[in-house]
């Protein structure tokens, strides 16, 4: 094989390794537990810094409940939790932690903070989903 072929082969191998690493490090972004915690943060930001209409609130609450059920199911499937109550307690604790972080941010930076604004917009976007 000539030098050019070797370089192309090394480039392809490097690119595949880079993509595999990216998938591995970003996998948690698709996990129900992580998504549920993001829902909890968005909900707290809306409570602190926004106003949701009744229809938006109802749809968001539905989607939040769906993600909570999925997060609990994920923990049960992992085998780390033996019963639904323990898994539900863990999901609730993670959500409470995210809510506390949002409260601390609202206290320190105020509702004009870009992160809080983004979370309020996230609330509105997640309310538009029709999760089953």
Structure tokens at 120: 């309020």
The pLDDT of residue 16 is 67
Structure tokens at 54: 């009744």
- Give the mean model confidence (pLDDT) for residues 5-10: 69
Helix 114-127 and helix 32-49: axis angle, to 10°?
Answer: 110
Helix 114-127 and helix 54-78: axis angle, to 10°?
Answer: 90
- Tell me the per-residue pLDDT of 46-97, one tens digit each, with 9 for 90 and over: 999 999 999 999 999 999 999 999 999 999 998 888 899 999 999 999 999 9
User: pLDDT over 70 for what percent of the chain?
Assistant: 80
Helix 114-127 and helix 84-109: axis angle, to 10°?
Answer: 140
Q: How far is CA 6 from CA 1, 2, 13, in A?
A: 7, 6, 11
Q: Quickly state the pLDDT bin for 29 (edges 50, 70, 90).
A: very low
Q: Which residues contact 38 (CB under 8 A, 6 or more apart)?
A: 98, 122
Going 12 to 13 to 18 to 20, the CA torsion angle's sign is positive
Q: Is the pLDDT of residue 120 over 90?
A: yes
Work out the mean pLDDT of the chain and round it to a whole number: 86
**Residue 57 or residue 28, greater confidence:** 57
């Amino acid at each position: 094989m000539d030098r050019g072929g070797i370089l192309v082969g090394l480039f392809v191998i490097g690119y595949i390794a880079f993509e595999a690493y990216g998938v591995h490090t970003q996998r948690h972004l698709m996990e129900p537990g992580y998504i549920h915690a993001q829902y909890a943060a968005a909900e707290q930001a809306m409570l602190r810094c926004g106003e949701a209409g009744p229809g938006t609130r109802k749809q968001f609450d539905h989607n939040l409940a769906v993600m909570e059920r999925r997060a609990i199911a994920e923990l049960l499937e992992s085998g780390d939790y033996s019963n639904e109550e323990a898994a539900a307690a863990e999901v609730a604790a993670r959500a409470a932690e995210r809510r506390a972080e949002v409260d601390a941010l609202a206290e320190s930076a105020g509702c004009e903070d870009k992160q809080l604004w983004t979370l309020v917009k996230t609330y509105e976007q997640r309310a538009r989903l029709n999760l089953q």
